[in-house]
Amino acid sequence: MSTSTMSLKLLIDSKHNKVVVAEAGKDFVHFLLNLLSLPLGTVIQLLTKPAMTGCVANLYGSLEELDESYLQPNQNKDSLLKPTVATQITDPNFLLPDTKKA
């Protein structure tokens, strides 16, 4: 079994207990977007805004505000915010491909 790692760098304002800046690789962002493509996105829709708390609510709110220019042309935010339950989970790639070469 192979092990993969993801890196995430955070700059935290400890006085206000807030993340100021986050730097993550594409694999981490892809992981977070795939979390929202699970039926959890459907469950979140049933909650009212005041009832949504925690990191999932923050992630959902950030995606609502995300500019669609960061998504591939044939994708939209509704596929993440209002997912349909599929019988088979596929691997959708919502992010634009890397333009840099290693």
Question: Is 65 a member of any domain?
Answer: yes
Domain range for 38: 8-81
Number of other CB atoms surrounding residue 94 within 10 Å:
19
Question: Is 40 a member of any domain?
Answer: yes
Residuewise pLDDT in 10s, the chain (102 residues): 567 788 889 999 999 999 999 999 888 888 887 776 666 666 677 776 677 777 777 888 888 888 888 888 888 888 777 777 654 555 566 666 666 655
Question: Is 90 a member of any domain?
Answer: no
Q: Where are the alpha helices (DSSP H) in 12-96?
A: 26-36, 40-46, 54-65, 78-81
Question: Is 20 a member of any domain?
Answer: yes
- Model-level pTM? 0.45
- State how far the Cα of 43 lies from the Cα of 87, in Å rounded to an integer: 17
Question: Is 2 a member of any domain?
Answer: no
Looking at the structure of the chain, the number of domains it has is 1
Pair 30, 56: CB distance under 8 Å = no
- The single-letter code of the amino acid at 35 is L
